[in-house]
């Protein structure tokens, strides 16, 4: 029997994630959305690409959750993006409600699933998913660090004119302007980039990474990035489904690690069949630790704003 992955939200990120999961033959996929016909239509379209793309993953779309039963992984991309005139708090309140509704349905049919949260504001939505599901912390994981690190890797490869495959990078912290790219732990075939480029170029790439999402929003005018975000979520799902135990930067619930407690923050973790199997604690320099603490403080601010709405 194939593994089953549900993707909630059949918009740009969700549909692209479904496509990548299917093309890699990682699982059978159920695509869910509130809009009637959209998940059904997109999954039918993706199924009809299968003979050409040469995969046998089965895809189905639905507006209710019965067919999601016993999913091993549920990737949650449902939500709305900020509309003109809408405050950050309005967005927070709307997406919280969506996340609560989605999570309660998911849990009803797949009580043992591992949740990969993608919807924004990411760090806050992870809290909502954990609270609503009652799942242990190893089964609620946010996708942000894989994307932010992939952006940093792409910029480093472009700058040094080397293959992206030779570049590894680490970006920690919350998913926002305060994220913490770590040049010391970003390497080309093991050589830290601090030995390969001058500080002003590193600073420029760090800045571009921090504003990577906004750069794409500015170009697209409507909507936000989705190819790389979908790739990030699928890399996490693959590591779990195949029990690969990849070390990836993910948004997880910290209880004292890095001196942070009670918050979802991006740190390196080991992802395997049980979800988060280990949180890696790397020794940070004082300025790196300070940047991570500032980022955690921004996550806390978001959480406090959400609590006040309750
Ligand atoms: N974590 C990250 O790094 C990252 C990166 C990119 C996008 N995002 C976030 O992911 C989310 C999805 O982005 P997108 O570009 O796919 O947006 P999108 O608007 O294309 O898709 C969102 C989909 O969610 C659906 N939806 C809304 N309420 C729902 C509900 N209650 N149940 C099921 N489906 C519901 C909508 O109908 C829509 O099809 C957004 O919140 C976006 O900000 C996060």
Nearest CA to ligand 1 atom 38: 11
Is residue 252 within 8 A of residue 279, CB to CB? The reply is yes
For residue 177, the model assigns a pLDDT of 85
Alpha-carbon distance of 303 to 310, in angstroms, equals 11
**pLDDT digit of tens for each residue in the chain (310 aa)?**
689 999 999 999 999 999 999 999 999 999 999 999 999 999 999 999 999 999 999 999 999 999 999 999 999 999 987 777 777 778 899 999 999 999 999 999 999 999 999 999 999 999 999 999 999 999 999 999 999 999 999 999 999 999 999 999 999 999 888 999 999 999 999 999 999 999 999 999 999 999 999 899 889 988 899 999 999 999 999 999 999 999 999 999 999 999 999 999 999 999 999 999 999 999 999 999 999 999 999 999 989 988 888 6
| pLDDT in the model for residue 310 | 66
CA dihedral 23, 35, 103, 179 (to 10 degrees): 70
Whether pTM > 0.85 for this model: the answer is: yes
Residue 22, preceding bond cis, omega within 30 degrees? Answer: no
Per the CB < 8 A criterion, the answer to whether 170 and 263 are in contact is no
What pLDDT was estimated at residue 176?
A: 84
Q: Which residues pair with 191 in a beta bridge?
A: 188
CA 138 vs. chain centroid, Å, equals 15
Please report, for residues 50, 106, 130, 274, the alpha-carbon distance to residue 6 in angstroms, rounded to integers and kept in the order given: 18, 9, 17, 17
DSSP symbol at 104: H
pLDDT tens per residue, range 66-88: 999 999 999 999 998 777 777 77
Of ligand 1's listed atoms, the one at least distance from the Cα of 147 is: 3
Helices and strands (H, E) in the chain, number of each type: 9, 14
Select from 64, 79, 145 the residue to mutate for testing ligand 1; criterion: most ligand atoms less than 8 Å from CB. Answer: 79
Q: What is the pLDDT of residue 1?
A: 65
Q: Is 230 helix (H, G, I), strand (E, B) or coil?
A: helix
User: Cα(279)–Cα(2) distance, rounded to whole angstroms?
Assistant: 29
Ligand 1 environment, Cβ below 6 A: 8-14, 32-35, 77-79, 81, 98, 101-102, 118-120, 122, 143-144, 147, 175, 223-226, 229
Of 12, 75, 45, 34, nearest to 220 by C-alpha is 12
Write the pLDDT tens digit of every residue in 219-257. 998 889 999 999 999 999 999 999 999 999 999 999 999
The SS3 call for residue 171 is strand
């Amino acid at each position: 029997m194939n593994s089953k992955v549900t993707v909630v939200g059949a918009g740009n990120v969700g549909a692209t994630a479904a496509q990548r999961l299917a093309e890699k033959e990682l699982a059978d996929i159920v695509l869910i959305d509130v809009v009637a016909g959209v998940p059904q239509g997109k999954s039918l379209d993706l199924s009809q690409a299968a003979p050409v793309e040469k995969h046998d993953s089965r895809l189905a779309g639905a507006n209710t959750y019965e067919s999601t039963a016993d999913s091993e992984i549920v990737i949650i991309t449902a939500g709305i993006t900020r509309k003109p005139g809408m405050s950050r708090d309005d967005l927070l309140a709307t997406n919280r409600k969506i996340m609560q509704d989605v999570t309660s349905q998911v849990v009803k049919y797949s009580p043992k699933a591992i949740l990969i949260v993608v919807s924004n504001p990411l760090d806050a939505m992870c809290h909502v998913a954990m609270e609503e599901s009652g799942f242990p912390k190893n089964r609620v994981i946010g996708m942000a660090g894989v994307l932010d690190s992939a952006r940093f890797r792409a910029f480093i490869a472009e700058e040094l004119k080397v293959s992206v495959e030779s570049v590894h990078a680490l970006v920690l912290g919350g998913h926002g302007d305060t994220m913490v790219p770590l040049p010391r732990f970003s390497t080309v075939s093991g050589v830290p980039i601090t030995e390969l480029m001058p500080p002003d170029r590193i600073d420029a790439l760090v800045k571009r990474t921090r504003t990577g999402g906004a750069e794409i929003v500015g170009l697209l005018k409507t909507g936000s990035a989705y190819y790389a975000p979908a790739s990030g979520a699928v890399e996490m799902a693959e590591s779990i489904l195949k029990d690969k135990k990849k070390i990836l930067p993910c948004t997880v619930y910290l209880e004292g690690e890095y001196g942070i407690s009670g918050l979802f923050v991006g740190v390196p973790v080991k992802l395997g069949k049980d979800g988060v199997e280990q949180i890696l604690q790397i020794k940070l320099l004082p300025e790196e630790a300070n940047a991570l603490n500032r980022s955690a403080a921004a996550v806390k601010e978001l959480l406090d704003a959400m609590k006040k709405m309750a």
